[in-house]
Homo-oligomer: A and B are copies of this chain.
Amino acid sequence: MAQVHKYRVKMTCEGCSGAVEKVLNKHKDKIETFNVNLAEQQVKVRTNLPADEVLEIIKKTGKETEHISSSQGDL
Q: Which residues of A contact B (CB under 8 A)?
A: 10-16, 18-23, 60-63
Contact = CB atoms under 8 A, between A and B. Distances in A.
Contact of A13 (B15, B20, B21): B15
9 tightest A-B CB contacts, nearest first: A19-B62, A12-B15, A22-B62, A13-B13, A23-B62, A15-B16, A60-B60, A12-B13, A61-B62
12 contacts: A10-B15, A12-B14, A13-B16, A15-B16, A18-B62, A19-B19, A19-B63, A20-B62, A21-B62, A23-B60, A61-B61, A61-B62
Contacts of A11: 15
Contacts of A60: 23, 60-62
